[in-house]
Amino acid sequence: MSEQSIYYFDNNATTRVAPEVVAAMLPYLTEQWGNPSSAYSFGNQLGEALTAARESAAALLNADPREIIFNSCGTEANNAVLNSALLTQPGKRHIITTAVEHSANIKFGEVHEKRGGEVTWIPVDRAGQLDVHEIAEAIRKDTAIVSVMLANNETGVIFPLEEIAALCRAKGVLCHTDAVQTPGKLPLDVKAMGIDFLSLSAHKLHAPKGIGLLYARRGVPWQPYLIGGGQEQGRRGGTENVAQIVAFGKAAELAIASLENDASRIRAQRDRMEAALMDTIPGVTRNGAKEPRTPNTSNLSFANCEAEAILLLLDRAGICASSGSACTTGSLAPSYVLTAMGVAPEHALSSVRLSLSKYTTDAEIDFLLEQLPPIIATLRGASPRPEIAAASEISG
């Protein structure tokens, strides 16, 4: 399928690499391919490129460049921080996280439980929101860390991290946030947020897959997850992925320059798309709170239609969307995020996530609005249960 014929509404899964990012990283694959740790200048001159990228990434977060640890992805960042919190505090075996985190946290927590550790899984309500008091009540003397995502990848619902971090600080507990779904969509300021750790992944920000970072507040105890060379100031072994780090730096720079414009345009496009779908198709409900929510995400349930069938027909029209997180695509089980919100299985199985980016055009949205209503009508016509459940909006 040619690039022209793709209508991309799955930016929470991954994003198109910005041409400026490709241009910035290419020289580090073609000409300047040395090892930055080498003693000769062909290698060690790359230090400048790494420093500039680290400064840009730090600026995106209002962090100090020394607080940035480049790694391979958001999954590594989340695993590394939970692992470090347990290793640096051997007497503390209790983790607090939520039931709707990315599988990087969920699976880590499950393995921790199997190894005899304890995890408190903070629940969410029907709007996908949590109650900070439940975190306060769950904190114990042996709590190693509280890890709560900033925005959910399936619904876009934003959690109150400033409040959670303040609570953790008051109780002397480490606080981490998985902010993978937020750069380029929300302003990020680790100082204002007051957190100890924050994870990002470049492929959600118009840079390539396979590069992520962890912000680790200066002075916070740290044990590396990958043990090897002394790269990243001894905090993450492995030869620096120079081209990808440069790409991340460029993507950060672009995001800083256009955040305000991008976020408000994307929000207006998302709201137009969502309102049109809810107005023109009967039996459409939103999953998750309307606000606070990332400006690009819409998770909608289409009564009496299977999401997998909708996605198949959308795909035939060249439209890319998903039924939940890319990591669980292909699973026939309802989304664990929607299930944790108390969404009924048949409702969850009819839910589609549409996620926009700064590259989404009005014409793409018009095309979706033209294609989706007849797809739903066709599927409902073929459904053995043509009646449409009364639409009850799930919002908060």
Could you list the residues that contact ligand PLP (CB under 6 A)? 73-75, 102, 104, 149, 153, 178, 180-181, 201, 203, 212, 325-326
- What are the DSSP calls for 134-157, one per residue? HHHHH--TTEEEEE--SB-TTT-B
For residue 318, report the phi and psi dihedrals to the nearest 5 degrees.
Answer: 90, 15
**Minimum Å distance from CB 325 to ligand PLP?**
6
Instruction: State the DSSP H helix or E strand holding residue 189, giving kind and residue range, or none if neither.
Output: none
**Minimum Å distance from CB 70 to ligand PLP?**
12
**Minimum Å distance from CB 71 to ligand PLP?**
9
Q: Which is nearer to ligand PLP, 328 or 378 (CB)?
A: 328
Q: Where are the beta strands (DSSP E) in 323-391?
A: 351-355
Q: In what side-by-side order are the strands of the sheet with 212-216? A: 68-71, 212-216, 197-201, 174-178, 143-147, 94-98, 118-122
**Minimum Å distance from CB 75 to ligand PLP?**
3
Q: Which is nearer to ligand PLP, 280 or 329 (CB)?
A: 329
Position with the least CB separation from ligand PLP? 74
Q: Which is nearer to ligand PLP, 215 or 379 (CB)?
A: 215
Q: Which is nearer to ligand PLP, 243 or 376 (CB)?
A: 243
Q: Which is nearer to ligand PLP, 294 or 360 (CB)?
A: 294
Establish whether 327 is a catalytic residue: yes
Residue 180 and residue 199 in contact, taking contact as beta carbons nearer than 8 Å: yes
Q: How far apart are the C-alpha atoms of 64 and 80, rounded to whole Å?
A: 20
Residue 56 and residue 213 in contact, taking contact as beta carbons nearer than 8 Å: no
Catalytic residue selected from 168, 305, 320, 327? 327
**Minimum Å distance from CB 318 to ligand PLP?**
23
**Minimum Å distance from CB 389 to ligand PLP?**
29
Q: How far apart are the C-alpha atoms of 185 and 68, rounded to whole Å?
A: 20
The two structure tokens encoding residue 329: 């695509």
Q: Which is nearer to ligand PLP, 154 or 274 (CB)?
A: 154
- CA separation (Å) from 195 to 64, 122, 166, 176, 216? 14, 18, 8, 6, 9
Q: Which of 167, 171, 164 is nearest to 98 (CA)?
A: 164
Residue with tokens 């940035």: 68
Q: Enumerate the active-site residues.
A: 327
